[in-house]
Amino acid sequence: MASPCPGDPGRYRDAARPDRRLRILRVVLGLGDESAALQQFSLAAPEHHEITLCTYFPVTDRIPPRIEVIEGDGSARGFLSGLIHALRTKEYDVVHAHTPHVALLALVAAVLRRRRLPPMVVTVHNSYPSFRPRNKLLFLPVFAAAQRVVCCGEASYGSFPALYKRLAGRRLRAVPNGTNIRRIDQALRRRPPRSPGQPFTVVAVSRLVPIKNPVTLLEAFLRDPSHRRRLIVIGTGPMYAPLQRWIDARGMRHRVELTGLIARDSVYHHLGGADLFVSTSLGEGLPIAVLEAMACRCPVVLSDIGPHREIARDADFIPLLDPRDVEGFAREIARFEAMPPARRAEIGEACRRVVEERFSVERMHEGYGAIFTELLDERR
């Protein structure tokens, strides 16, 4: 029987092959600079994990050679062909799916092969209200069939209706998202020094979609009588062009910058040089962008939603506001602007400690490692 190695829940000891690495087949829709399956779960995975990534869509980004990639062609048939090939050519300990679409297709692959899959773990990367109706339906068979369903935080776990919890039973777990502090610190060491005349700078990082509620942030930012602040919004999405027109119509392009997608290290450079991070989001899973800002020692002001409350638990230095409260966000931005820089730095250090203690990628991998070990024990 397998047993966890002391102090290392991500690895297990097999009496027959004590030094074999844990083999994980990670199935995903696609890979990119913002992909949690790539950044948090694969690139930051323990070195003793042997990871293969099987994608639905073609891969456009460069993936390190230590990670094997089997890419699909954007069709269900192409994905199934790649997945079946992966399962035929290598023995895996765990299949780890990151969306309900690919999890369901993996179950179909098992039927086509007429063989059982290795134990399947499915990560839920958002809260129930944030999913589209189609995805909510796709999760029903996944919750019923997967060996473990892991929500990305306690708020995500609590958001699912009783039906889903009954379907999964004790197989439903919560492991909070984690951020890669080591990578952030490496990037910050290369950050250009802040210019002496830089104005008070607010940063937001999110997809530009309605649920992220960027209009509240823009309206709150413009309640600035001095017209000296600067706002940088990092990300793209369907709202990018309408927001740019909104900014241009108010003659604010010199104060508000929409960067679009930029390299991850550049995101960290912006966060490390900012005075404040703001999220007015209406819905999240457990937002990596907020955790990355806090790891960069940037104070945060957040909307009062379940995932943000999970982050701000026992942290009274993190203000939580109704997502539609434009005046409230304006007041908090002004309050942080009026603070002495030393006080903002103290709050930034406190934010960093929250991430180190509760939301590091190492803590996340410990949680998943314990689940993988549990599954391997059950299998034996």
Residues 145 and 200 in one domain: no
Q: What pLDDT is recorded for position 286? A: 96
pLDDT single digits (tens) 257-276: 999 999 999 999 999 999 99
- The lowest-confidence range among 188-192, 226-230, 314-318 is 226-230
pLDDT single digits (tens) 132-152: 999 999 999 999 999 999 999
Q: What pLDDT is recorded for position 21? A: 83
pLDDT single digits (tens) 75-97: 999 999 999 999 999 999 999 99
Q: What are the residues facing 205 on neighbouring strands?
A: 234
Using the predicted structure, report yes or no on whether residue 102 has a pLDDT greater than 50. yes
- Euclidean distance between CA atoms 15 and 185, whole angstroms: 39
Residues 282 and 294 in one domain: yes
Summary mean pLDDT of the chain? 91
Q: What pLDDT is recorded for position 19? A: 55
Q: What pLDDT is recorded for position 2? A: 34
Most confident of 34-38, 109-113, 210-214: 210-214
Domain that holds residue 28: 3-178+360-379
pLDDT single digits (tens) 352-361: 999 999 999 9
Average pLDDT over residues 46-54: 90
Residues 75 and 143 in one domain: yes
Give strand ranges (E) for 34-119.
49-55, 68-71, 94-97
Torsion of CA 290, 294, 298, 299, to 10 degrees: 80
- The lowest-confidence range among 1-10, 238-247, 285-294, 307-316 is 1-10
Residues 250 and 349 in one domain: yes
Q: Decide if 268 contacts 286 (C-beta within 8 A).
A: no
CATH number of domain containing 327: 3.40.50.2000
pLDDT exceeding 70 applies to what percent of the chain? 94
User: Could you tell me the pLDDT band of residue 106, with boundaries at 50, 70 and 90?
Assistant: very high
Q: Report how many domains make up the chain.
A: 2
Residues 98 and 188 in one domain: no
Q: What pLDDT is recorded for position 1? A: 31
Residues 365 and 278 in one domain: no
Average pLDDT over residues 292-303: 98
Pairing of strands 230-234, 320-321: unpaired
Q: Decide if 58 contacts 74 (C-beta within 8 A).
A: yes
Residues 155 and 220 in one domain: no
- Euclidean distance between CA atoms 369 and 193, whole angstroms: 39
Residues 206 and 67 in one domain: no
Phi-psi bin for 349: left (phi > 0), alpha (psi -120 to 50), beta? Answer: alpha
Residues 185 and 172 in one domain: no
**170 HSE (CA, 13 A, CB side):** 3
Residues 167 and 78 in one domain: yes
- Euclidean distance between CA atoms 275 and 245, whole angstroms: 26
Using the predicted structure, report yes or no on whether residue 7 has a pLDDT greater than 70. no
pLDDT single digits (tens) 114-138: 778 899 999 999 999 999 999 999 9
Residues 82 and 8 in one domain: yes
Tell me which H or E stretch contains 12: strand 8-13
- Euclidean distance between CA atoms 190 and 198, whole angstroms: 19
Q: What pLDDT is recorded for position 141? A: 96
DSSP string over 85-118: HHHHHS--SEEEESSHHHHHHHHHHHHHHTSPPS
Tokens of 372: 């993988």
- Euclidean distance between CA atoms 127 and 133, whole angstroms: 13
Residues 223 and 339 in one domain: yes
